Structure 1
Amino acid sequence: MQKAFLFDLNGTMIDDMEFHIRAWHSILNGLGAHLSYEETKLQCYGKNHELLERTFPGRFTLAEKDTMSIEKEKQYQEAFRPQLKLIDGLAVFMEEAKQLNIPMAIGSAAIMFNIDFVLDGLNIRHYINAIVSADDVNISKPHPETFLKCAEQLGVAPENCIVFEDSPKGVEAAAAAGMKAVVITTMHEEHEFAAYNNILCFIEDYRSLTVENLTKEQSFM
């Protein structure tokens, strides 16, 4: 029975969410939002356009949102580039999965500008068999469309996919897609996921995981 691994990107493959939150905190408050850091953190899910619309309903045109989205990502990339690296253990984990012919996908609310920044900056594109970005879905997480499209592109049944996520909204999307999840606690604590029963385990990084143990049949029960 074919298994597949579906990775969120930010906070899951690279530990960069703090840089996204800082960038949005600066931009949103510069536009008059008056949000605290913690309030900004709660808004950091889904597409950039959706975040802007939640914060400033009806205020900006699509073109204005496009411009602000790119400017935010440029600000984020400039700040994070010196620290760009995979979360500990992930390189070994992905190589093990590749050797075992387990397909891998990225399912992220990031735009391709950011996904390319990571894949090419870390030279890991050869591990990834499918990509579903913000531009590829109508509704982002917690809607399941992102992960269902990943499964479809890989040709693997949703129930045989394991999602790697760092956020409650992402785990909710996995549950809605009928998928189990591994939670990386880079930005959220275990108690914040108490509402979800599709979680296989919590990890701080990938050094404690092996592909063999994770893909055992009992892991999907």
Structure 2
Amino acid sequence: MIEIPKQAEGLIFDLDGTVANTMQNHFLSWRKAVMPYGVDFTAKLFKSLTGKPREATILKLNELFDTTMNPEEVGNVKAAHFKTLVDTTKEIAIVADVVRKYHNILPMSIGTGSTRNGAKKTLEVIEMSHFFDIVITANDIENPKPHPETFLKCAELMGVHPMNCVVFEDGILGIQAAKEAGMMVVDVNDYYKMEFTI
């Protein structure tokens, strides 16, 4: 079981790769969307982009590979493929157990780079919607991770000072965002190994 710091007064969870094991599906969907443009979308590249919203990911890939992918078109291909896989999503038990343990004990929220619809669907599939009244998504913020806005908004809505929040994250950008917000961080990679297969 993951131990949380004694001074924790609120818990914030990233969704993809933290509470829900969606990362393999996101990886395959991104590969399918960008392959026609000659982009070699490796697991290592994917990990470095984890937490970025769709459009920002495509703009970054354009920069890295000197491509001119249309963020909306390519994003739609990615999203459509991901939808075909979403019902296979499972919870990440070691983190989901923390959610169940602290439900109704500490305020909890989700802070994700996913879209509102994507996050809603994922939470439904893993049957965890009822644990979270506060879900901050890419639709609710101006500045995505590594900017701390997502997590600061969660803290504000929970009524907990950022210093007393614990963020559960798997992504490099999300961990940076949590630290930038002055929050305590649990890197779930220390407890759970994400494997990617093609």
For 1:93 and 1:37, how far apart are their aligned partners in 2?
Answer: 27
Q: Which runs of 4+ in 1 moved over 6 A?
A: none
* CA RMSD, Structure 1 to Structure 2 (Å): 2.2
Alignment equivalent of 1:158, drawn from 156, 162, 173: 162
Q: Deviations over 1:150-203 (max 9, x none)?
A: 111111110010000012221111000000111111xxxxxxxxxxxxxxxx32
TM-score for both structures, normalised by structure 1: 0.74
Task: Give yes or no for the alignment of 1:129 onto 2:133.
Answer: yes
Instruction: Name the SS for the 1:56 alignment partner.
Output: helix
For 1:167 and 1:43, how far apart are their aligned partners in 2?
Answer: 8
Sequence identity percentage: 27
Within a 5 Å distance, the mapping from 1:65-214 to structure 2 comes to 65-82=71-88, 84-100=89-105, 102-185=106-189, 202-204=190-192
Task: Give yes or no for the alignment of 1:25 onto 2:31.
Answer: yes
Match of 2:3 in 1: none
Within a 5 Å distance, the mapping from 1:41-80 to structure 2 comes to 41-57=47-63, 59=68, 65-80=71-86
Q: Deviations over 1:37-60 (max 9, x none)?
A: 433443333110101111125945
Q: Is the 8 A contact 1:25 1:40 kept in 2?
A: no
Point out where structure 2 has 5 or more consecutive residues left out of the alignment. Answer: 1-6, 194-198
Alignment equivalent of 1:7, drawn from 5, 13, 30: 13
Residues matched between the structures, number: 184
1:18–1:31 CA distance, 2 compared to 1 (3 A): same
Q: Is the 8 A contact 2:141 2:149 kept in 1?
A: yes
Q: Deviations over 1:114-141 (max 9, x none)?
A: 1011122233222113111011111111
1:38–1:92 CA distance, 2 compared to 1 (3 A): closer
Using CA pairs under 8 Å that are at least 6 residues apart, name the structure with larger relative contact order, 1 or 2.
Answer: 2
For 1:126 and 1:111, how far apart are their aligned partners in 2?
Answer: 18
Higher gyration radius (CA): 1
